[in-house]
Amino acid sequence: MPVYGNLIGGKWLKSASGKTFESLDPSTGRPIGSFQASTVRDIDKAVAAARKAFPGWKATPPPERGQALYRIAGLLRKEKERLARLETREMGKALNEARGDVQEAIDIAEYMAAEGRRLLGHTTPSELPDRFCATVRQPVGVFGMITPWNFPIAIPAWKMMPCLLAGNTVVFKPSSDTPLCAIEFVKVLMKAGIPPGVVNLVTGSGRDAGGPLVRHRAVDGISFTGSRDTGVWITKNAGLKKVGLELGGKNPIIVMDDADLDLAVDGVLWGGYATTGQRCTACSRVIVHEKVKDRFQKKLLARIRKLRLGSGMKPGVDVGPLVNEAAVKKTESYVELGKKEGARLCCGGKRVPGKGYFFQPTLFTDCRPGMRICQEEIFGPVVSLIPVRGFRQAVDAANNTDYGLSSAIYTSDMGNAFRAIGMLETGITYVNSSTIGAEVHLPFGGTKATGNGTREAGIEGLNEFTETKAVYIDYSGRLQKAQKIK
């Protein structure tokens, strides 16, 4: 079985601990490689390498940095099928979805590459004569990146591309469930000509590698996607760093009585069961008008029972495995909890016997908004139907959660559609579409416990990785005092 190293200062190294861990194929439970179980000593080396590389990368003109991103996009396009197959093998999602994950990385690389010619600030008039005022963007410094396993190429790319374009250097700590995807992604960056030390990769546990990275005094920023509890810990332990957090969701789809029910079923299937429900934007709550609840539920059940469960490598598979045994046990526990809370189990609810971490697509009905299965992020193929009497009750049910990432409404009433856009407490709202499917030129992020206000992608995606400097150029030839001071 191959053994993979950490990338520090352009070299592949063993960890200081001398220990390794395995990454498993979730469709079989078999190991696919051994990876370094890193500790604080490895983090120290990686941060030192990033700090050393920072002045040179910062001094590289932004258009030149953008050209490196264009090369990354081109290499990712050439490697798309290989990387997608690797992702399916290591993470488990259906191959066609994995291709979409790599395409997302291509798209964000191309989008951010173009920003190398802009990196926009703004100009503004001065309150004084013969003075020019403007703002410019500057890099923050060394960024620590901690990413999840569910989009093991797209999410690192969403963070890495604007971070590098802005002139920062990186220490990247990927999920221990998908370290090989991270390594192969970083190899593409190196092949594209990113200088040694600008991007460093250290594998290991959150406790032994992630924690020291968050607390490190020579790290200037942290970008994290993952659980709310970990995000709270980072907030308490990062110190005076720039911190960006994306912490999940409990995303609702509202189905009104005037909705196209077949279209809504398509949206719920894609939102609730694609990636086996393991998306921060997954639709885990369907808030359906009582007038159409029975018809909608019948249509949805018929489609769920046709979903094909199996290895993501097999053609025609709709739902792959959960990522690991812990995810199976967590999903099982929520199914039992839903039953105890009084929700009615319509289908699924059990793990699939045999090899791998497969779980049946599951549907609960007759749920109440306050039930824990309607409040807490399950991260499995479990969807709950909540009946409501009208539009206002639907919006109230949708907002009745600590999270605020994505939302959707299916309706033919554009008045209600626009009212929902204003009333739903989420960072993203879809009309007559599912809760997932971000486009890289639009900002991605949420409200409430979904994060700390960070937006990734789009022009706002640069804000996380830049500092804004105000510039004043006085050409009056005399001392001018602002605020009308004589």
The residues assigned a catalytic role are: 246, 280
**SS3 at position 399:** helix
Query: How far from chain centre, in Å, is Cα 313?
Result: 23
Those residues whose C-beta lies under 8 Å from the C-beta of residue 145, and which sit 6 or more positions away, are: 156, 159, 160, 163, 170, 171, 172, 173, 222, 223, 224
Beta strands in 290-395 (DSSP E): 344-347, 362-365, 382-388
CA gyration radius for the chain? Answer: 24
88-113 b/e (C-beta count within 10 Å ≥ 16 → b): bbbbbbbbebbbbbbbbbbbbbbbbb
336-375 b/e (C-beta count within 10 Å ≥ 16 → b): eebeeeebeebebbebeeeebbbbbbbbbbebebebebbb
Closest CA to 232 of 457, 406, 402, 39: 402
Phi-psi region of 217 (alpha: psi -120 to 50; beta: other; left: phi over 0): alpha
Report strand pairing: 199-201 vs 362-365. unpaired
Q: Which residues on adjacent β-strands are paired with residue 173?
A: 146
Identify residue 73 by its one-letter amino acid code: A
Phi-psi region of 167 (alpha: psi -120 to 50; beta: other; left: phi over 0): left
CA distance 367 to 395: 16
Report strand pairing: 344-347 vs 362-365. antiparallel
> Of all helices (H) and strands (E), which one includes residue 430?
strand 428-431
Cα separations in angstroms, 308 against 56, 305, 311: 51, 8, 10
If you search the block for the tokens 């190196």, which residue do you land on?
A: 190
Identify residue 68 by its one-letter amino acid code: A
